[in-house]
Amino acid sequence: MPVKTSKRPDASTCACPACPCCSGLAYAACCGHFHQGAPVPTAGQLMRARYSAYVLHDHAFILSSWHPDTRPSVEEAGPDSQTRWLGLEVRQQTESGDTATVEFVARYKIGGRAQRLHEVSRFVREGGWWFYADGSFPKEQEQ
């Protein structure tokens, strides 16, 4: 189960006006209570909470919401102060029983250069808790 973080992250570091996940809700009414240890009811909401955790450098939440079978070490998933996250677009979500996928595009900058991460994330639910398992990178369709 995800753990409470020791400090409340500062949502002001996001380019979005409210919660860093760009839901349009206030941080406290959206990802904030998940970061404080409340269960996340859907894989889609966990995806958003994990994105917000990356924005806010909440590495305890990132690691605790990662499935133990695929979780990297603290050193491998350590803080990345070079990345500035700019926004999240959730494209598609599917949920079937205790498994789910969420396709998303996250925009960010590293060293002033704009980048994007397009991933299809796989989630599993164990003991009532959703966990990020792994992700794949879809090929972009040619236009």
Report yes or no on 4 lying in a domain. Answer: no
138: Cα separation from own chain's centroid? 18
- Which residue type is seen at 53? A
Q: What is the pLDDT of residues 31-71, one digit of tens each?
A: 999 999 999 999 999 999 999 999 999 999 999 999 999 99
Residues 99, 124 contacting (CB under 8 angstroms):
yes
> Residue 52: which domain range?
11-136
* CA-wise closest residue to 44 among 29, 23, 62: 23
CATH code, 61:
3.10.450.50
Report yes or no on 16 lying in a domain. Answer: yes
Report yes or no on 41 lying in a domain. Answer: yes
Number of domains forming the structure of the chain: 1
Q: What is the pLDDT of residues 93-124, one digit of tens each?
A: 999 999 999 999 999 999 899 999 999 999 99
pTM: 0.85
